[in-house]
Each structure stands twice: as structure tokens, then as C-alpha cells.
Amino acid sequence: MKLIKCTQNPVLSPNPNNYWENLVVCNPGVWYENGTFYMLYRAAGDDVDHYIRVGLATSTDGINFKRESNEPVFGPSSNGPDMGGVEDPRIIKFGNEYYVTYAYRPYPPGRYWTFPHDVINLPETGPDAPAVYKHNIANSGLAVTTDFKTYRRLGRITTSNLDDRDVILFPEKINGKYAMLHRPKQWIGEEYGCDYPSIWLRYSDDLMVWEEKSTLLLSGRNGTWEEKIGGSTPPLRTDDGWLLIYHGVENGGNGYYRVGVALLDLEDPTKVTARLEDWIMEPEHDYEIEGFYKGCVFPTGNMIVDNILYVYYGAADKYVGLATCDINELLQTLKDSQNENSK
């Protein structure tokens, strides 16, 4: 079972006329409502510091997107903890408000693709500077909007001294509690039960207070396409369970990014009821291989519309792509794998 890539990919490309998005557009959060797809996409221009912002585009068919502004709708604050850049939005909705999780840094990362793997720019600090600033650690924050154009920043929802990204909220409460997926980079080793960064789940009574103990949900498989893994898109409720799309990286995180899929129990999502051994999408086209991360498909938005699963992804850290499938076919494939594993 593989996702089918849109023949019109990339569905969004850098705009040479806008300084803040003339180099990169990727990793979009997407929401569908009343016949319109709303896309919040990560964007960057060709500045040396590589400040990252968020733009807004809309579509009525999910393929042809129109930019809603020549300016970003969300960007680094002028003097706050996220003044180094904001990226990788994921969208869910509670009531009439859209909640957006996003990653940020206190200092811009620089042109990371010109540095050794996992190296970024660091600020000049004194010896007493906190770790988050001294090491330019990526945290995750929460913002809220009602129109995708204006936002209120609610603050940090991860621990400041942890590189904790791929933070994704479930779109509804589970047994009266909010639920979050996250991927703390430092939680590896025997103490944590995983050799590489993995997907964890935790609950909370308040969207801004996440103090309950996390549970290891999914870890990578050594020697496979998915040694290092992380959550990708907001879980989708189906009759068969929570559909979870995630990314996996070979070679301990220094290789191709591919896409996996699993099912979680509706009432207790710490229970993984099915997980495909093989990837459902991998880099194969030039726009997924020749970019600022060579060989990367990185989903951050998904919706089910008329029984079609739409998966929006960053391609090679430069473009936005779309892949689809029949949701019932994907669920059946997962259930078949569940039956095979139970034999």
C-alpha cells in the first residue's frame, strides 16, 4: 500500500517575489472546512540567518492553492523566546478556535544545509545563560486563531532544555483529557527504552500544562528505514482507531525521510493496534531529492474529505507536495496487517 502522489506536485513552490519565501516553502499544516483547504506553510527567504516564518494559502480542490497575502501571517516575535524563527505548524480545532502547535528557536538556525548534520548557528552568550539560549534549543509553542490570519501566542508547551519538536495535539479529548504526541530528542538509551528519538504520548487537563508522565508510544526499528521516528500529522479519528501518520529516518537520523502509518486504540491511544512494517511514501522525484535536505518527504497536514485521505508534506525542505489514497483501502491494509501479526 503506497500513497499516490499528485501529478501536479509540487502544489506550492517558493515565490521569488516575496523576500520571506523566495527560497523555501514546506511542512504545511492543513485544515479543511466548508469546501476550503487552509494551508499554513513554513517559509524562508535567502537571508544568511535563515529566519523561518509561516504563510497562508487556500484552495477549493486541495491542489491549486492561492496565497492569501504577500506577507507572512505568523512569524518570529520581536523580543520573545521564539524570535529566532517559527516552523512546522500543525492544526487542530476545539470549538470555534484553531490551535496551532509550532516549533521555534530563540536564535535563527542559519543555512543549516551548508553545515555538518545536526549543526546550527549558536548565539554568543555568557556562562550563566540557560541551556535553551546557549544551545539554541528548539522548543514547541501553542498559538490560537479564529481566521488563520491573526494569532495569539499562548506560550511554550515543552520543557525548555529539551529539543522537543513534532509536538501534535489530538483533535479531541480522550477520557476527559487533552492528549499530545511529542519527540524529545534527548530521551534515548536504556533508561528510555529506545536507541533513537521516538514518539511519546502524554495527557493533560490544560492545553498549556503538560506535567503528566509521558508514555513511549512508538520507537524505531534498528537496521530499517525507520530507526529515528517522529510524529507527522494530527491523528485522525476513524471507526477503526486513531490513524497516525509518522516519519522515519534511516541511519539513525542521517538519511532519507520516509512515511509510516499506524492505528491507535480510540479509548486508549497508548495501545498500538496496527502498524505497517513498510513505508507508505518515500522520496523518489527530483523535487523530493534535490533541495535543502536531499531525500525528504515530511508530512505535517492531513484531512479526510469524501473518503479520500489528503496528506500534505514538505519535499526536500523546499517544496510542498500532496499525496492521497482511499482511506478505506488504507484502513483495510492496516487491519490485514493486524490479522497477520496475530497469527
Residues 22, 56, 198, 303, CA torsion sign: negative
Cβ–Cβ under 8 Å, residues 112 and 119: yes
Is residue 343's pLDDT more than 60? Answer: no
Tens of pLDDT along 125-135? 999 999 999 99
Q: What is the pLDDT of residue 341?
A: 66
Rounded CA-CA distance 241/235 in Å is 10
Quickly state the pLDDT bin for 228 (edges 50, 70, 90).
Answer: very high
Rounded CA-CA distance 240/172 in Å is 16
Please report where in the chains the cell 496565497 appears, as a residue.
67
Is residue 23's pLDDT more than 70? Answer: yes
Q: What is the pLDDT of residue 338?
A: 82
67: three-class secondary structure by DSSP: strand
Please report where in the chains the cell 501529478 appears, as a residue.
7
Burial (CB < 10 A; 0-12, 13-18, 19+), residue 131, is: exposed
Rounded CA-CA distance 308/215 in Å is 31
Calculate mean pLDDT across residues 279-300.
Answer: 97
Q: What is the pLDDT of residue 342?
A: 55
Domains along the sequence of the chain with CATH: 4-342 (2.115.10.20)
| C-alpha cell belonging to residue 341 | 501479526
Q: What is the pLDDT of residue 237?
A: 98
Nearest to 289 by CA among 317, 310, 311, 313: 317
Q: What is the pLDDT of residue 24?
A: 98
Distances, alpha carbon 65 to alpha carbons 11, 68, 106, 181, 250, in Å: 7, 9, 31, 29, 32
Rounded CA-CA distance 217/193 in Å is 11
Tens of pLDDT along 153-172? 999 999 999 999 999 999 99
Quickly state the pLDDT bin for 340 (edges 50, 70, 90).
Answer: low
Q: What is the pLDDT of residue 224?
A: 98
Is residue 263's pLDDT more than 70? Answer: yes
Tens of pLDDT along 192-227? 999 999 999 999 999 999 999 999 999 999 999 999
Taking every pair of Cα atoms in the chain, the longest distance, rounded to a whole number of angstroms, is: 60
* Percent of the chain residues topping a pLDDT of 90: 98
Is residue 151's pLDDT more than 60? Answer: yes
Q: Which residue stretches of 125-271 are H helix? A: 131-134
Quickly state the pLDDT bin for 88 (edges 50, 70, 90).
Answer: very high
Which DSSP state fits 336? H
145: three-class secondary structure by DSSP: strand
Provide the pairing of β-strand 319-326 with 4-5: antiparallel
**Average pLDDT over the chain, rounded to whole?**
97
Rounded CA-CA distance 180/234 in Å is 9
Rounded CA-CA distance 271/103 in Å is 27
Quickly state the pLDDT bin for 307 (edges 50, 70, 90).
Answer: very high
